Amino acid sequence: MNEPDDHEPLGRGPDDHEPDDQLGDARLSRRQVLGIGLVALPCLAGSVLVFDWLTKLTDTGATENTEPIVAGYDPATHRWGFVVNTNTCIGCGLCVVACKDENHVPEEAEYSRTWVERHTRTANGTIVVDSPEGGINGYEPDTAPVIVPAAAVTDVRFVPHLCMQCEDAPCISVCPVGATFHTPDGIVLIDQDRCIGCGYCIVACPYGARYIVPAGGNMPGGVPGVADKCTFCYHRITTGRRPACVEACPVGARAFGDLNDPSSSVSVILRDKPTMILQGALGTKPRVFYVGLEGEPTA
C-alpha cells in the first residue's frame, strides 16, 4: 500500500500538481474531438432512450394523474360513493357471482373483490361472523353457522364487503413504488404494469379487500402476480353504467352514485337514513357506507 507522505495533504502526492508548461500537450486535436464526439453522442442518445424507456416503464403518472383515464369522461366532476343496506340484503350471493363474471376474478373464495358475510347475533349478544365460500352460493334461509345452536339465534344479517375506496387509503401510502393511486373521482386503482406483487397493500388493508392475482384461467386485467381489488367496476362507471354487483342485486341492497349530485341515490340515502362506516376509528374515511349496522361493534 502506498502511504502518503506525512507532510503532504491526504490524497495528493507530489505528482498531482501538473506543471503549467504541460497544459499545451493537454489540448485535444480535431481528430480526437471528432473521435470523442462519435463515441459520446451515440452514448448520450442511447442513455436518453434508455432513460425514456425506463421512465415509461415505471411512471404512468398515475399518482398525480389529472388526465382522463377514459376518453370523454371527466373524473374531476364526479365523487363516487356506495351504500350497502344490510336491512335489505338477503344473502343470495348474486352480487359475488356478477362481480367474478364481470371482472374475471378467480372462482376461489379467497380471491374476491366482493363477498358477503353473515352476522349471526345470539341470545347472549355475541355476534358470530362467517362467510362460507365468500357467500357466492348464497345463504339458505333460516340457517346459522354450525357453531351456533339454532335456538340461540336472535338475528341474522348479511353484510356485503368490498373495497372501501378510502380517502386516506393505507394501501396507497404503503406501496413502495406508487402502483396504487387515487383517481380524481375518488377511486383507488392499481397500476398493474407497476405493481411488484410485494403484498404490502394486502397486509395494510384493514378491510381485507385485496389479494394477489394467481396465474390461471381467470385473471383480472390478465396480469398474474399483482394486487387486485374492487374498483367499483371503473370500466363501467366511466361509461355511464353502474357496477356489476349493483345491477345484479335483486333487492336493491347496493346503491351507487355520485356524491356530488344531491339527487343521486347514494346522496338521498345518506341524507335520509342513518349510515355508518366500517372501522371509522382508523381514520381511513371510506366511501362505502352501511345502513342497518347499528349496535354492531366496529372494532
Residues in touch with other proteins (CB under 8 A): 1, 10, 54-55, 57-59, 63, 110-111, 117, 119, 126-130, 145-147, 159, 161, 170, 172-179, 194-200, 202-208, 210-216, 219, 223-226, 278-279, 282, 293, 296-299
256 exposure class (CB count in 10 Å sphere: 0-12, 13-18, 19+): buried
Least Cβ distance, residue 96 to other proteins (angstroms): 15
Give all strands (DSSP E) within 195-283, no chain letters.
211-212, 227-228, 254-258, 275-276
Q: Give the nearer residue to other proteins in terms of CB position, either 150 or 299.
A: 299
Q: Give the nearer residue to other proteins in terms of CB position, either 24 or 125.
A: 125
The tally of CA atoms less than 13 A away on the side-chain side of residue 76 is 5
Find the helix or strand (DSSP H, E) in which 297 lies. Answer: none
Least Cβ distance, residue 173 to other proteins (angstroms): 4
Q: Contact at 8 Å (CB) between 152 and 126? A: no
Least Cβ distance, residue 215 to other proteins (angstroms): 3
Q: In Å, how far from its chain's centre is CA 98?
A: 20
Least Cβ distance, residue 263 to other proteins (angstroms): 29
Give CA separation, 69 vs 184, 193, 237, in Å: 10, 15, 12
Least Cβ distance, residue 296 to other proteins (angstroms): 5
Q: Give the nearer residue to other proteins in terms of CB position, either 98 or 162.
A: 162
Q: Give the nearer residue to other proteins in terms of CB position, either 18 or 53.
A: 53
Q: Contact at 8 Å (CB) between 139 and 91? A: yes
